[in-house]
Amino acid sequence: MADEFNTGLYSDPTPIAVGQETPEFTMETYEPSSGSFGEVKLSELRHDGKWTVLVFYPADFTFVCPTELADLAAQDAKLTELGAKIISVSTDTKFSHLAWCQSEKLMADVKYTMGADPTGEVSSLFGVYDENTGLALRGTFIINPESKLVSSQVNYYNVGRNMEELSRIVEANVHCLAHPAEACPAKWSPGQKTLTPNEAMVGKVYEALNS
């Protein structure tokens, strides 16, 4: 059984921090778009030049979780266009993912990959594994095509996320990777002014944004 649910190569108990390179991981998956099982590897996503968006949630067949995953499904096309691979992750098995998608109407539009992390290994890598419950907290992580972790957000069990904001953060990170001298201010969205930090801007950010 342990071999069946092997989730990767990671063994260091220290969670990865923003700015660090993400170690290799592997997960079994359920693919709602085809109704089949599969596998996802970070190294393959890096090879394909993908942004990796991991959305951890506590459990299948719960209450806030399907509302979040339905909200994420509404952002799927936009995130895919940005070059991102969405992977929702819980400590359930791939079999539970399949059964949940078949029974919960809120999951009807979910087409992105659903990762299975029953050992909690990948959840531990990102610091969201709760040993007291065996579940993952509501963690959202963005990994750039170079495998660097560029964004991290963690909520407790009882507060759902806004996936539209997730799309905005991915857009900003895509922009900053393409334009490394620039920085995106609060609420930035494509087409709006960015900042190019320099000594003349110190104490003059208002003027830079409104010039």
> Where do the DSSP E strands lie in the chain?
26-31, 36-41, 51-56, 84-90, 113-116, 129-130, 135-136, 138-143, 149-155
Cα dist. 2→97, 98, 101, 117, 119 in Å? Answer: 19, 20, 25, 12, 9
Beta carbons of 146 and 127 less than 8 angstroms apart: no
CB neighbours (10 Å) of residue 141? 24
What's the CA dihedral at 104, 76, 124, 93 to 10 degrees? 30
Domain regions of the chain by residue span: 26-161
> What residue has token string 């920085």?
183
Beta carbons of 143 and 86 less than 8 angstroms apart: no
Spatial CA neighbour of 83 closest among 40, 52, 44: 52
| Residue 109 CA from chain centroid, whole number | 18
Is 176 an annotated catalytic residue? no
Beta carbons of 10 and 121 less than 8 angstroms apart: yes
Task: Name the CATH superfamily, with its identifier, for domain 26-161.
Answer: Glutaredoxin (3.40.30.10)
Per-residue pLDDT in tens (0 to 9) along the chain, 211 residues:
233 333 343 344 689 999 999 999 999 999 999 999 999 999 999 999 999 999 999 999 999 999 999 999 999 999 999 999 999 999 999 999 999 999 999 999 999 999 999 999 999 999 999 999 999 999 999 999 999 999 999 999 999 999 999 999 999 999 999 999 999 999 999 999 999 999 999 999 999 999 8
The catalytic position among 65, 101, 176, 184 is 65
Q: For 23-38, b where at least 16 C-beta lie within 10 A, e where not — what string? A: eebbbbbbbbeeeeee
pTM: 0.92
DSSP string for residues in 98-135: HHHHHH-GGGTT--SEEEE-TT-HHHHHTT-EETTTTE
